[in-house]
Copies of this chain bind each other. A is one copy, B any other.
Amino acid sequence: MYQLIDGKTTSAKIKEEIAEEVKQLIEAGGKKPHLAAVLVGHDGASETYVASKERACKFVGFNSTLVRLEDTVSEEELLQRVNELNKNEDVDGIIVQLPLPSHINEQKIIEAILPQKDVDGFHPVNVGRMVIGLPAFVSATPAGIIELLKRYNIESSGKSCAVIGRSNIVGKPMSILLSQKADFGNATVTLCHSRTPDLKEITEKADIIVAALGKAEFLTGDMVKQGAVVIDVGITRVKSDKTKSGWKLLGDVKFDEVAPKCSYITPVPGGVGPMTIVSLLKNTLLASRKEIFQ
Q: Which residues of A contact B (CB under 8 A)?
A: 107, 123-129, 131-134, 157-158, 166, 168, 172, 175-176, 179-181, 186-193, 195-197, 202
Contact = CB atoms under 8 A, between A and B. Distances in A.
B190 A188 contact: yes
Identical chains bound together, number: 2
B191 A188 contact: yes
Nearest to A189: B191
A129 B125 CA distance: 8
Contact of A131 (B131, B189, B202): B131
A176 B168 CA distance: 11
B195 A157 contact: yes
Contacts of A134: 107, 124
A294 to B, nearest CB: 11
Specify the main secondary structure of chain A where it touches its partner.
mixed
9 contacts: A107-B134, A124-B128, A124-B131, A126-B128, A128-B129, A158-B196, A181-B195, A186-B193, A190-B190
Contacts of A189: 190-191
Given A128-B128, A131-B131, A132-B127, A188 B195 contact: yes
Contacts of A180: 166
Contacts of A186: 193, 195
Contacts of A196: 158, 188
A134 B107 CA distance: 9
A188 B166 CA distance: 10
Nearest to A171: B179
Contacts of A157: 195
Given A158-B195, A188-B195, A191-B179, A168 B124 contact: no
Given A128-B128, A133-B168, 17 more contacts: A123-B128, A124-B124, A124-B132, A124-B134, A127-B127, A128-B131, A131-B168, A157-B195, A166-B179, A181-B195, A186-B193, A188-B191, A188-B196, A188-B202, A189-B190, A189-B191, A190-B190
Contacts of A132: 124, 127, 168
A186 to B, nearest CB: 4
A33 to B, nearest CB: 24
- Greatest chain B CB density within 10 A among A128, A134, A191 is at A128
